[in-house]
């Protein structure tokens, strides 16, 4: 089956193409403002067989070419979401958007690629990779993989090399929280960071002090606070700041670049700002929930509503959102993810009597492009070129797939969206394309609408209608040694720079 309309049903296993019109081999986007991170210009974009062939004014074509009028609109690279969890087993549950429904939602919102986190199986990276390879068979947009490291031994170290050299993975994530599950200690982090450095792979961290969170949770339960508000109270921003600072210092000690996922607080953001100011290569990723929501939802009297906002690190109190926006606008933080990790009300209800059992995660893969446009561009905080940078280009550069992705240039993949700045969007649980029965952005309205999404040359979203087919998405392998590693060792670890040669001392005779 396939999506052909806004209201759709999906059954796996009986995929058919949705009309030949969805995959024209030749496409011309006429009259729009083509925006890249480095430049914008009025130009036409000509696409053949999924690849951008030409970007220049007044391209003329024959009758066999589908022409899309983009006059008065922006023609921009499709979004790349650096942080998602599709079809993931987590906290006694499994995320309900898989590599088809999650992709369909993404495409309807203007995102044409994402990078998902492979979770090892019993610590085995190979088994984890193979499992995700199977999950992704139904993909309908392009995707790449990061990989989590959840335990340490010689096999894991060897498998990291295989992942990098043979499987196209160039980043590994270390969870500093989720004690008793995914959490790793400092010793493992040091081993892992060293291995990342030796392979040219980017180290990533979920930065919260997991031991302290565990203590905070016990305190809440002792106080009789068992509802979703206990989630926020048990893991305050100071614990995110501490772990962020610790990860940054350990990365400095190893002299390897670091990527901090879901920066949710001023505390964590300021650690990143300080490190960057001192010259350290640290990347900070805010997520949409942290940029546009605040924690008051966790106090909502309706459990179902409150629980839908439970994610880690928690959505913070008012003020953190604006500070994170400013940090994104000024380059302290570099790109926006979602951490799309969808659990429906039934799954969230596992924690009805104990917030510790509420599966952690919120949606966002479909909403990111609209909410970042409205919050950052429409409000005047960033330019349209910077919008392209934070939603697409910077992700492509960090994960070494630029300019195949993240650009509208001859030779790039034709992942393109047309955004109408004069049209508006409204987010609703009823009309979204995720399988979720809730939406943390329900009711949000704003300016700027993704009217067309083109995925590798196929028009998959037009006139509010999705046309996608399972199995059409491709795996995008990512090579190690992104720009973040360039010249890194010319400036070696500060800890050794003062040691020119071993100090010679005379043997004492006393
Ligand atoms: O609450 C969250 N963030 N769930 C997904 C797993 C993670 O920590 O990224
Ligand atoms: Zn159809
Ligand atoms: Zn995380
Ligand atoms: Zn995540």
User: Which residue's entry shows tokens 């044409």?
Assistant: 112
Sequence spans of domains, the chain: 77-408+476-485
- Helix (H/G/I), strand (E/B), else coil: 137: helix
From the CA of 360, give the closest atom in ligand 1: 1
How many H helices and E strands in the chain? 15, 18
* pLDDT for res 307: 98
- Helix (H/G/I), strand (E/B), else coil: 113: strand
Task: Provide the sign of the torsion angle of the four alpha carbons 452, 454, 455, 459, taken in this order.
Answer: positive
From the CA of 83, give the closest atom in ligand 1: 9
Give the closest residue (by CA) to ligand 1 atom 9.
339
User: Which residue's entry shows tokens 């350290």?
Assistant: 280
Ligand nearest to the CA of 3: 2
Give the closest residue (by CA) to ligand 1 atom 7.
312
Mean pLDDT of 337-357: 98
Give the closest residue (by CA) to ligand 1 atom 1.
311
What are the residues whose beta carbons fall under 8 Å from the beta carbon of 28, sequence distance 6 or more? 44, 45, 46, 47, 59, 61, 65, 66, 67, 68
Residue 425 has pLDDT above 60, yes or no: yes
Tallying the residues shown for the chain, one arrives at: 510
Ligand nearest to the CA of 469: 2
Q: Which of 234, 351, 360 to mutate to test the pocket of ligand 1 (most atoms within 8 A of CB)?
A: 360
What are the residues whose beta carbons fall under 8 Å from the beta carbon of 269, sequence distance 6 or more? 263, 284, 286, 323, 324, 327, 332, 333
From the CA of 85, give the closest atom in ligand 1: 5
| Residue 6 near residue 30 (C-beta atoms within 8 A) | no
* pLDDT for res 503: 82
| Residue 337 near residue 291 (C-beta atoms within 8 A) | no
From ligand 4's centre to the CA of 31, what distance in Å? 38
Mean pLDDT of 406-432: 98
Give the closest residue (by CA) to ligand 1 atom 4.
361
Mean pLDDT of 366-373: 98
Task: Provide the sign of the torsion angle of the four alpha carbons 227, 316, 426, 388, taken in this order.
Answer: negative
- Helix (H/G/I), strand (E/B), else coil: 173: strand
Q: Indicate the CATH number of 77-408+476-485 among 3.40.50.1360, 3.40.50.720, 2.60.120.10, 3.20.20.140.
A: 3.20.20.140
Mean pLDDT of 188-216: 98
From ligand 2's centre to the CA of 352, what distance in Å? 41
Mean pLDDT of 310-330: 98
From the CA of 261, give the closest atom in ligand 1: 9
Ligand nearest to the CA of 463: 2
* pLDDT for res 197: 98
The band of 392, judged by pLDDT with boundaries at 50, 70 and 90, is very high
The band of 305, judged by pLDDT with boundaries at 50, 70 and 90, is very high
Mean pLDDT of 265-274: 98
Task: Provide the sign of the torsion angle of the four alpha carbons 98, 184, 338, 313, taken in this order.
Answer: positive
User: Which residue's entry shows tokens 């109270």?
Assistant: 233
DSSP 503: P
Residue 102 has pLDDT above 90, yes or no: yes
Q: What backbone torsions phi and psi does residue 34 show, to the nearest 5 degrees?
A: -85, 125
Give the closest residue (by CA) to ligand 1 atom 5.
361
* pLDDT for res 421: 98
What are the residues whose beta carbons fall under 8 Å from the beta carbon of 278, sequence distance 6 or more? none
* pLDDT for res 496: 59
pLDDT tens, position by position, 58-99: 999 999 999 999 999 999 999 999 999 999 999 889 999 999
Residue 387 has pLDDT above 70, yes or no: yes
**Residue 89 exposure: Cα atoms within 13 Å on the Cβ side:** 10
Q: Which of 339, 358, 364 to mutate to test the pocket of ligand 1 (most atoms within 8 A of CB)?
A: 339
| DSSP calls for 426-478 | E--TTT-SSS-S--TTTT-EEEEEEEEEEETTEEEEETTEE-B-TT---B---
Q: Which of 312, 351, 358 to mutate to test the pocket of ligand 1 (most atoms within 8 A of CB)?
A: 312
ipTM greater than 0.85: yes
Give the closest residue (by CA) to ligand 1 atom 3.
312
| Residue 420 near residue 504 (C-beta atoms within 8 A) | no
Angle among Cα 227, 238, 178 to the nearest 5 degrees reads 55
| Residue 386 near residue 337 (C-beta atoms within 8 A) | no
Identify the CA nearest to 81 among candidates 310, 286, 230.
286
Q: How many CB atoms lie within 10 A of CB 503?
A: 6
| Residue 469 near residue 18 (C-beta atoms within 8 A) | yes
Phi-psi region of 36 (alpha: psi -120 to 50; beta: other; left: phi over 0): beta
Q: What is the CB < 6 Å shell around ligand 1?
A: 85, 206, 311-312, 339, 341, 360-361
| Residue 171 near residue 259 (C-beta atoms within 8 A) | yes
| DSSP calls for 191-249 | HHHHHHHHHTPEEEEE-S-HHHHHHHHHHHHHTT--STHHHHHHS-HHHHHHHHHHHHH
* pLDDT for res 24: 62
From ligand 2's centre to the CA of 258, what distance in Å? 44
From ligand 3's centre to the CA of 175, what distance in Å? 7
Examine residue 215 and say whether the peptide bond preceding it is cis (omega within 30 degrees of 0): no
Return the higher-pLDDT residue of 15 and 410. Answer: 410
The band of 409, judged by pLDDT with boundaries at 50, 70 and 90, is very high
The band of 508, judged by pLDDT with boundaries at 50, 70 and 90, is confident
Ligand nearest to the CA of 260: 3
* pLDDT for res 408: 98
Task: Provide the sign of the torsion angle of the four alpha carbons 426, 290, 147, 179, taken in this order.
Answer: negative
Ligand nearest to the CA of 338: 4
Burial pattern 112-146, b for ≥16 Cβ within 10 A else e, equals bbbbbbbbbbeebbeebbebbeebbebbbbbbbbb
What are the residues whose beta carbons fall under 8 Å from the beta carbon of 187, sequence distance 6 or more? 152
From ligand 2's centre to the CA of 4, what distance in Å? 4
Mean pLDDT of 400-413: 98
C-alpha torsion 247→252→253→257, nearest 10 = 80
Mean pLDDT (the chain) is 94
Residue 14 has pLDDT above 70, yes or no: no
% of residues, the chain, pLDDT over 90: 90
Identify the CA nearest to 368 among candidates 303, 297, 417.
417
């Amino acid at each position: 089956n396939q999506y052909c309309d806004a209201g759709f049903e999906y059954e796996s296993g009986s995929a058919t193409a949705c009309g030949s019109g969805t995959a024209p081999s030749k496409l011309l986007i006429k009259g729009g403002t083509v925006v890249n991170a480095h430049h914008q210009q009025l130009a036409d974009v000509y696409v053949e067989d999924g690849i951008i062939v030409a970007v220049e004014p007044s391209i003329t074509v024959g009758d066999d070419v589908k022409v899309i009028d983009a006059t008065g609109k922006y023609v921009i690279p499709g979004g790349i979401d650096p942080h998602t969890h599709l079809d993931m087993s987590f906290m006694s549950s499994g995320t309900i958007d898989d590599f088809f429904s999650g992709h369909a939602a993404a495409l309807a919102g203007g995102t044409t690629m994402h990078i998902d986190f492979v979770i090892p199986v019993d610590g085995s990276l190979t088994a984890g990779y193979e499992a995700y390879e199977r999950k992704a068979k139904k993909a309908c947009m392009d995707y790449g993989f990061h990989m989590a490291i959840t335990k340490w031994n010689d096999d894991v170290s060897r498998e990291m090399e295989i992942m990098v050299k043979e499987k196209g993975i160039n980043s590994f994530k270390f969870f500093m929280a989720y004690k008793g599950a995914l959490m790793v200690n400092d010793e493992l982090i040091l081993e892992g960071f060293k291995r990342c450095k030796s392979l040219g792979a980017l180290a990533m961290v979920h930065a919260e002090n997991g031991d302290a969170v565990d203590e905070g949770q016990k305190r809440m339960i002792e106080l009789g606070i068992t509802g979703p508000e206990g989630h926020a109270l048990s893991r305050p921003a100071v614990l995110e700041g501490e772990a962020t600072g610790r990860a940054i210092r350990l990365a400095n000690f190893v002299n390897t670049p670091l990527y901090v996922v879901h920066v949710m607080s001023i505390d964590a953001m300021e650690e990143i700002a300080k490190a960057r100011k001192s010259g350290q290569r640290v990347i900070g990723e805010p997520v949409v929930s942290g940029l546009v929501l605040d924690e008051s939802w966790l106090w909502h009297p309706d459990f179902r509503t409150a629980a839908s906002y439970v994610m880690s690190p928690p959505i913070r109190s008012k003020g953190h959102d604006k500070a994170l926006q400013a940090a994104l606008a000024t380059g302290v933080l570099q790109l926006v993810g979602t951490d799309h990790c969808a659990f429906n009300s039934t799954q969230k209800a596992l924690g009805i009597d104990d917030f510790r059992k509420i599966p952690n995660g919120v949606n966002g893969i479909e909403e990111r492009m609209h909410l970042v446009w409205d919050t950052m561009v429409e409000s005047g905080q960033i330019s349209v070129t910077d919008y392209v940078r934070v939603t697409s280009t910077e992700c492509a550069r960090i994960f070494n797939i630029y300019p195949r992705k993240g650009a509208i240039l001859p030779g790039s993949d034709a992942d393109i969206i047309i955004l109408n700045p004069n049209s508006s969007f409204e987010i609703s649980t009823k009309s979204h394309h995720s399988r979720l029965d809730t939406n943390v952005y329900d009711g949000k309205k704003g300016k700027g609408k993704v009217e067309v999404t083109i995925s590798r040359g196929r028009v998959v979203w037009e006139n509010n209608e999705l046309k996608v087919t399972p199995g059409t998405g491709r795996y995008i392998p990512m090579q190690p040694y992104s720009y973040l590693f360039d010249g890194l060792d010319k400036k070696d670890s500060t800890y050794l720079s003062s040691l020119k040669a071993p100090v010679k001392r005379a043997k004492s005779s006393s």
